[in-house]
Structure 1
Amino acid sequence: MTHPVLSADPADTHELAGLTGESAAPDFRSLGLPANLVAALERRGVTSPFPIQAAAIPDALAGRDVLGCGRTGSGKTLAFGLPLLLRAAGRRSAPQRPTGLVLVPTRELAHQVRDNLEPYAHTLGVRLGDVVGGTSMQRQINELRRGVDILVATPGRLHDLIERRVCSLNDVELSVLDEADQMCDMGFMPQVTQLLDDVRVGGQTMLFSATLDGDVDKLVRRYLTAPVTHSVDPPVSQVTTMEHHVLRVLARDKSQVVTEIGAREGRTLMFVRTKHRADRITEQLNKAGVAAAALHGGKTQGARTKTLARFKDGRVNVLVATDVAARGIHVTGIDLVLNVDLPAGHKDYLHRGGRTARAGENGSVVTIVLPNQRREARKLLDTAGIDPQTHVVNPGDELLGSVTGARQPSGVPWVEPPEPVRARRPGGRGPRTGGGGFRRGGGRRDGAEGGARREYGDRPARTDDRGGVRTRSERPHVRYGDQPGGHPRQDGRAGERRGGQGGGAYRTRSGQGGGRPRSAA
């Protein structure tokens, strides 16, 4: 189906080559980027622009609205991020009033966008901030009060902060909607429209999406003015580096097939429908000896961040995720996506498959289909425009191994190793070794002597009235409140304040020697 926006003005519509084709520009310098930004890109190994970057950056720098159609992994972050940074460079936004806004559907994608843009923001002196759910709202409020030039946000949390009057979008000059179709599918359409209505009239808008139908079309018509459209990277079903397979298995064999696929070499991403399924399959894989972890919305943001880090570092080979939790995840090297459960629709299938075969890499999308799911699976794949290879497999089959790389697991339960203990800095908290300076209460650490703690009795000797040397241990032990008049360095008024009977300001456990007993206080 031809999208109306794509066919509105052929002169403003550009069909670009795939990621494996030649770029429209030889390097970033010819796109109009300054030398210091080009040097920062080269230091990170980014020398040749992807097609969407070569096409969108010049139009974005010229101040035109941009509509980008391409799947995840096509290089859209730098396509909108670099012009956004240049727009914000050389000026300081007022507290709580950013000048650039990026709306994304998930917190993982928000962190990914910020991490990708952070090095270049540092080069240009631009302050980045993120506002996402599942993390400390007070930290985000404090960051906004200090001042943020570009704000990366999820719609729900940003809407809450605006309702609290700690953030305003009246100064936003450039707005970006990344993965707009996912935001609409996740029910964020009302918040997105309300946020864009708050943005300053006449600003620049860029929208990037894998599909341009339904609510996305409404956003384009309402908020983009004469957009230049760039369609890049064919749909997932047409990516030449991606293979699609359907495995027909019996219900009794499904768990074993999933376990054998999980034991394969390489990085595997498994998709299920619910968080309970994710936990159950992860436990099943761990018992079989497969290093697997679960990622779903029932986990805290800290746990999700650690799980992703372990998957990226290779400490975990299999990630079992739900659709919502995995959207926006960018992990290189995923060569197999396994649909353990059928996706809810063809869009979910495309989003799942977009996690592999990214940036020209090879990858496979494998879907497990039970006998009673064949009609549903056929309809779903036809709607997505996919013609997969179909195989009838059983556990331990050679065919299963040749298609997916499956193998028999070790059978030794896998236990996650403990996190490495960080070495503490000298003079920091922990064992009292090293570091100097006096401590509260009179004690001190002597860094010159190896950091041994010195108590009261270790102080330098003092002389008495007769000129003799007397140390603390030779002085009579006097407890506060044991003498008339209260504290030895205060007068009797202290007793009026606390003891009430001319006693001490501090009472002993027994209550003797001035002051009333504790039980009578």
Structure 2
Amino acid sequence: MNRSTRSNDRYGRSGGSRSAGSGGGSRSGGRNGGSGGRFRSQGPRRPKAAAPQGEFALPVTITPALPAAETFGELDMPAPLLTTLTRLGVTEPFPIQAATLPNSLAGRDVLGRGRTGSGKTLAFGLALLARTAGQRAEPRQPLALVLVPTRELAQQVTDALTPYAQALHLRLATVVGGMSIGRQAGALRNGAEVVVATPGRLKDLIERRDCRLDEVRITVLDEADQMADMGFMPQVTELLNQVRADGQRLLFSATLDRNVDKLVRRFLNDPVVHSVDPSAGAVTTMEHHILHVQGTDKHATTVEIAARDGRVIMFLDTKHAVDRLTKDLLASGVRASALHGGKSQPQRNRTLAQFKSGQVTALVATNVAARGIHVDNLDLVVNVDPPTDHKDYLHRGGRTARAGESGSVVTLVLPNQRREITRLMATAGITPQITQVRSGDAELTRITGAQAPSGIPVTIAAPVADRPKRSSSSSSSRGRRSRPAQARRAGNGDRSSAPRNGDRSSAPRRNAASS
């Protein structure tokens, strides 16, 4: 029986609650063998009350949660995982990891909220891998699933979990739009215990009969609020209806609102609820600045900030505005590159790699870069166009001050935007420092490191390996397709139903505990 058919009443449905003990309830084969699924008793349950916490009333945990772990060593995880954590320098769990891992390892459903950079990926990833260890997936039938809203976050999750999966001899497959669907189908046919996927591409592969979810025993929803905001809810619901009804659900996000409440009510059973930070997630190591600027001076101010020593991410509302500012910055001597949903996935991956290596110092982006991107030592984020939603502000700002580092978020505000930004900051729970600035001001330099650009135009060249090869003009090559033409034709059928404008990416993190 599918979990969703039992009842949609999260706060008063029938069904047994699970033990929070080390066994996590009755389970066949345990973590390293057998079915790995959960079998709940059908005894009566007392009604669930709602706790006024966060952006909506979070459910109260009925079955007492296990106490938080002080070290990874005291957790019930396979030795190879502990060895890998030590090798990568991950010595102490972050708060969200310490609180949720004892319970998720025991088989409990988890509803976790923590600000970006708080360590959510390892919080769900270590439990998922530990409870899948020792099992082998049949072709096209994964055992564990991580659903994420964008391509870049899927890659980030894959990168963060790969060394731990390799230590346990588990196979990972990444399933996202914008890449070869044939290769992804091949990875599933070869067998993959863990699949990290965006909903649209996974749905495509299921419809092609290249994947089945009826053996998925652990399902993770990462950044669930964004999936709801992006219109993925029908796809997510359809996919959750296909996984094992007795499986485990782990839902993690930096923010939780009423859109996510529908998923909580329908698919989570007596979850352990943990919130690392208040919903607003204002980071104590982060400074928030509102810079009041005049319309005639905004562009010059933006260029001076971009010309600073050190990297910066600059957010704008539209793809057109991103491309225009990037062109202006390059002409002014700033090594800038654009990132938005209109770029191909290889272009986006290349841009991020150049930004992380320092070849590009100013990343100009839409909200496509607001989540899932980790860059070491990034100390400044600039909202050239202020966000319209407080969650967008928090996620944009979350690209800095990650894993305990410090950083600043600067928002350029025109006179006619001041009232709306005041309301947005209040909703986000942030009290910013407000300063009136003009280009060339000492205060602008003090806050952002702004300086005059060199004025010498620069060009950001693609790596040699990324440049298309010319086909030979000799008679022996006539009739053969050039490599770019083959790639274009191969890509014609590679479409995902996931919205393009929300997709994103990342690379492995320096501090793996922050994953």
What letter corresponds to residue 53 of structure 2 in structure 1?
T
Q: Among 298, 304, 307, which residue is 1:254 paired with?
A: 298
Whether 2:101 is the aligned partner of 1:57: answer yes
What is the CA–CA distance in structure 2 between the aligned matches of 1:36 and 1:275, rounded to whole Å? 45
Whether 2:313 is the aligned partner of 1:269: answer yes
Tell me if the contact between 2:61 and 2:270 (Cα under 8 Å) persists in the aligned partners.
no
Counterpart of 2:336? Answer: 292
Counterpart of 2:283? Answer: 239
Question: What are the residue-to-residue correspondences of 1:477-516 with 2, within 5 Å?
Answer: none
Shift of 1:237: 5.4
Whether 2:405 is the aligned partner of 1:353: answer no
Tell me if the contact between 1:13 and 1:230 (Cα under 8 Å) persists in the aligned partners.
no
What letter corresponds to residue 327 of structure 2 in structure 1?
E
Question: What are the residue-to-residue correspondences of 1:113-512 with 2, within 5 Å?
Answer: 113-235=157-279, 238-417=282-461, 419=463
Q: Gaps (5+ residues) in structure 2? A: 1-51, 467-515
Shift of 1:35: 2.3
Larger mean Cα displacement after TM superposition, 405-414 or 98-107: 405-414
TM-score relative to the length of structure 1? 0.77
What is the CA–CA distance in structure 1 between the aligned matches of 2:427 and 2:65, rounded to whole Å? 25
Percent identity for Structure 1 against Structure 2: 61
What letter corresponds to residue 382 of structure 1 in structure 2?
A
SS of 1:84's equivalent in the other structure is: helix
1:167–1:10 CA distance, 2 compared to 1 (3 A): closer
SS of 2:137's equivalent in the other structure is: coil
Shift of 1:328: 1.5
Looking at CA atoms only, which structure, 1 or 2, has the larger radius of gyration?
1
What is the CA–CA distance in structure 2 between the aligned matches of 1:214 and 1:142, rounded to whole Å? 38
Tell me if the contact between 2:65 and 2:103 (Cα under 8 Å) persists in the aligned partners.
no
Counterpart of 1:71? Answer: 115
SS of 2:374's equivalent in the other structure is: coil
Q: Compute the RMSD of aligned alpha carbons.
A: 1.8
Shift of 1:10: 7.9
User: Which whole-Å deviations, capped at 9, do the CAs of 1:182-201 have from their partners, x for residues lacking one?
Assistant: 11111111111111011111
1:237–1:144 CA distance, 2 compared to 1 (3 A): closer
Counterpart of 2:53? Answer: 2
Tell me if the contact between 1:268 and 1:337 (Cα under 8 Å) persists in the aligned partners.
yes
TM-score relative to the length of structure 2? 0.77
Alignment: residue pair count: 414
What is the CA–CA distance in structure 2 between the aligned matches of 1:359 and 1:371, rounded to whole Å? 35
1:13–1:322 CA distance, 2 compared to 1 (3 A): farther
SS of 1:316's equivalent in the other structure is: coil
1:48–1:152 CA distance, 2 compared to 1 (3 A): same
What is the CA–CA distance in structure 1 between the aligned matches of 2:212 and 2:218, rounded to whole Å? 14
Tell me if the contact between 1:268 and 1:336 (Cα under 8 Å) persists in the aligned partners.
yes
Shift of 1:383: 1.6
Shift of 1:300: 0.5
Counterpart of 1:460? Answer: none
Counterpart of 1:27? Answer: 71
Shift of 1:236: 5.3
What is the CA–CA distance in structure 2 between the aligned matches of 1:230 and 1:172, rounded to whole Å? 24
Q: Among 108, 117, 132, which residue is 2:152 paired with?
A: 108
SS of 2:234's equivalent in the other structure is: helix
What is the CA–CA distance in structure 2 between the aligned matches of 1:327 and 1:147, rounded to whole Å? 30
Shift of 1:344: 2.3
Tell me if the contact between 2:339 and 2:368 (Cα under 8 Å) persists in the aligned partners.
no
What is the CA–CA distance in structure 2 between the aligned matches of 1:294 and 1:63, rounded to whole Å? 43
Shift of 1:26: 4.0
What is the CA–CA distance in structure 2 between the aligned matches of 1:235 and 1:217, rounded to whole Å? 14
What letter corresponds to residue 328 of structure 1 in structure 2?
G
